[in-house]
Amino acid sequence: MSGYLEPWRQCSSCPRCGSRVESGPAERANPFRCAACGFVLFFNAASAVAGLMVDADGRMLFIRRERDPARGKLGMPGGFVDPGESAEEALRREVREEVGLEVREVRYLASFANHYPYAGVTYPTLDLFFTCAAEDASRARALDAVAAIEWHEPSSVDPAEIAFDSMRAALRAYLRR
């Protein structure tokens, strides 16, 4: 991928002993291996979740992203999974934080690999998508990192308006079912 910067290639010194890493490709691979102390560090994809929520009229809830990456684009409510959380717990927390809704009827839809550019580094992610319902979808509001909420007929959303490739793929998967 153009502009993709592998996180393990960013290591210039060992996180355990501080020894400088030589510049050859063997020393900068996944996993990272320190020749001085033997420390091994695996770089894995970050886990993220998003909810596809449809109201009684068949409209899907989208957020308008307030920040980069993809500022101003449409997305589904969601975010990164915190250590110790299940994907379902993360989905409930993220939906609560971003749009103020309590979700129920969480069902796995699909997962897609993605890339998340942030602060000069593009992180590999594994994005997990769920269909879900809200206790009271009419109470949705724009909260953390959300510029606005919008309800759209899922089949009418312009794919170019959607923030990430994985979200476009999830919407296609939803529409095919």
pLDDT tens track of the chain, all 177 residues?
Answer: 444 456 656 667 888 999 987 655 544 567 888 889 999 888 889 999 999 999 999 999 999 999 999 999 999 999 999 999 999 999 999 999 999 999 999 999 999 999 998 888 888 999 999 999 998 999 999 999 999 999 999 999 999 999 999 999 999 999 999
Q: Is the pTM of this model over 0.85?
A: yes
Burial class (CB in 10 A: 0-12, 13-18, 19+), 109: middle
Segments making up each domain of the chain, as ranges: 1-43, 46-176
CATH code of 46-176, in short, is 3.90.79.10
Structure tokens at 88: 């379902």
169: part of which helix (H) or strand (E)? helix 165-176
